[in-house]
């Protein structure tokens, strides 16, 4: 008798009924019993609340790894339907080919499993429909988020430092499909953190530098937004965030999941709602800071150099990296602790520097 494994997946924490894990397992178990397959309970792989747009899923990757085992633990992989495995037609074809090479047959418990050219054609059509459905769902979700954002409510994500996310009933009295009030997220000020935000803006508006602000906050032991020490990037993020003037801005970036990067969108794609929530800084103060930030023009000709000991040295005091971050009047480069240099004595008191190369002597 052939041994089968099962892979089960659902996309949403709220998913119940037709495609819940329990229902999928019931259907693949029925298929196994009806077709003379032994379903090995030690090889039932489950991914809960995971997207089908890619295969970066822990249980699925473990399933593939185990399929390569010697001796082979199973020769059939049962799924409820093709969409549970993947909603990307190209990736589905690669996975199917990989399993076939390992001697594992992929079977859908609820769809026709035909052989030959007819089977390949039907599988291609079904997986294309799965991918198309996924794209449609994404488009509908984006449209819904846009409508929420246009009303000044949060369309997802965490509240910025200095705020907390709170929910309120839809002012029009709108109800969901269960008859409950539709609720929207908005920002409420967290007084202690908001005082730090205001201070950052005031210090910068009065001529302070980002590094000077970082050093001051760290010297006083004020926790950063992440609960650690302050960095220049944390201060820069606050100063550029329009939310602190009371505006809600949505759809500024897009994720390139293939490259695992975040890309900036053009401004005409942004949704901006002014006075959407209580402001931490005045409009005048935000504009003063904005003008000063705009005067900062990065050096486009700057090229980051790779030095001989780059990435190899660590600070004996704090464990941070030693990098070339200081230069003498004659252009000589010096290694120093990046945490001391960028965050101040409050984080690391090791201010020693080391010449990047030995002094040259003339013959």
What is the structure's pLDDT at 257?
Answer: 65
What is the structure's pLDDT at 328?
Answer: 61
What is the structure's pLDDT at 100?
Answer: 92
Residue 72: is its pLDDT beyond 70? yes
Residue 240: is its pLDDT beyond 90? yes
Structure tokens at 160: 């910025």
Looking at per-residue pLDDT, the higher value among 100 and 303 belongs to 100
Looking at per-residue pLDDT, the higher value among 310 and 361 belongs to 310
pTM of the predicted model as reported, rounded to 2 decimal places = 0.64
Looking at per-residue pLDDT, the higher value among 126 and 298 belongs to 126
Least confident segment among 81-90, 183-192, 254-263, 340-349? 254-263
What is the structure's pLDDT at 95?
Answer: 92
Average pLDDT value for residue range 208-235: 94
Alpha helices in 206-326, H assignment, sequence order: 210-219, 232-240, 283-295
Looking at per-residue pLDDT, the higher value among 339 and 236 belongs to 236
At 42-63, the pLDDT tens digits run 999 999 988 888 888 999 999 9
pLDDT band at 13, cuts 50/70/90? very low
In whole angstroms, what is the distance from residue 356 CA to residue 327 CA? Answer: 10
Q: Tell me 177's DSSP state.
A: T
Q: Where are the beta strands (DSSP E) in 48-138?
A: 76-79, 105-108
What is the structure's pLDDT at 357?
Answer: 63
Of 69-73, 144-148, 197-201, 328-332, give the range with the top mean pLDDT: 197-201
Contacts of 89 by beta carbon, 8 Å cutoff, 6+ apart: 124, 127, 128, 130, 131
At 259-303, the pLDDT tens digits run 678 888 998 999 999 999 999 999 999 999 999 999 875 554 444
The residue extents of the domains of the chain are 2-132, 189-295, 305-363
What is the structure's pLDDT at 282?
Answer: 97
Q: In CATH terms, is domain 189-295 a member of 3.90.1750.20?
A: yes
Q: In CATH terms, is domain 2-132 a member of 3.50.30.20?
A: no
Average pLDDT value for residue range 216-239: 94
Average pLDDT value for residue range 126-132: 81
Distances (CA, A) of 255 to 34, 82, 248, 263, 270: 44, 26, 20, 6, 15
Cβ–Cβ under 8 Å, residues 47 and 86: no
Distances (CA, A) of 359 to 57, 141, 205, 313, 334: 54, 62, 42, 20, 12
Residue 19: is its pLDDT beyond 90? no
Burial of 330 (0-12, 13-18, 19+ CB in 10 A): exposed
Average pLDDT value for residue range 179-185: 91
Structure tokens at 345: 């004595």
What is the structure's pLDDT at 360?
Answer: 43
For residue 249, how many other CB atoms are within 10 A of its CB? 16
Tell me the pLDDT of the chain averaged across its residues: 86
Residue 359: is its pLDDT beyond 50? no
């Amino acid at each position: 008798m052939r041994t089968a494994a099962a892979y089960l997946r659902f996309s949403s924490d709220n998913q119940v009924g037709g495609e819940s894990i329990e229902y999928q397992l019931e259907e693949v178990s029925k298929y196994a019993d009806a077709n003379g397959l032994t379903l090995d309970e030690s090889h039932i792989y489950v991914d809960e609340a995971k997207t089908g747009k890619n295969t970066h899923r822990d249980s699925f990757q473990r399933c593939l790894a185990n399929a390569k085992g010697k001796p082979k633990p199973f020769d059939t992989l049962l799924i409820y339907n093709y969409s549970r495995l993947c909603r990307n037609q190209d990736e589905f074809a690669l996975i199917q080919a990989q399993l076939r090479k390992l001697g594992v047959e992929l079977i859908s418990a609820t769809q026709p499993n035909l052989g030959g050219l007819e089977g390949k054609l039907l599988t291609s059509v079904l997986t294309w429909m799965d991918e198309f459905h996924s794209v449609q769902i994404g488009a509908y979700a984006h449209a819904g988020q846009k409508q929420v954002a246009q009303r000044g409510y949060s369309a997802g994500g965490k509240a910025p430092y200095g705020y907390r996310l709170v929910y309120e009933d839809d002012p029009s009295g709108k109800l969901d499909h269960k008859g409950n009030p539709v609720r929207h997220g908005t920002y409420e000020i967290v007084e202690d953190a908001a005082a730090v935000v205001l201070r950052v803006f005031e210090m910068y508006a009065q001529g302070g530098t980002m590094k000077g602000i970082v050093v001051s906050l760290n010297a006083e032991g004020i926790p950063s937004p992440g609960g650690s020490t302050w960095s220049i990037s944390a201060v820069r993020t606050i100063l550029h965030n329009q939310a602190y003037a009371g505006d809600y801005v949505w759809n500024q970036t897009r994720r390139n999941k293939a490259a695992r990067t975040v890309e900036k969108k053009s401004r005409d794609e942004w949704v901006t709602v002014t006075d959407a929530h209580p402001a931490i800084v005045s409009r005048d103060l935000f504009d003063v800071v904005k003008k000063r930030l705009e005067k900062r023009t990065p050096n486009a000709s700057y090229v980051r150099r790779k030095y001989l000991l780059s990435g190899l040295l660590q600070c004996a005091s704090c464990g941070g990296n030693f990098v070339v971050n200081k230069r003498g009047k004659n252009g000589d480069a010096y290694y120093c602790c990046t945490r001391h240099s960028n965050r101040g004595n409050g984080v690391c008191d090791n201010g020693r520097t080391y010449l990047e190369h030995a002094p040259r002597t003339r013959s």
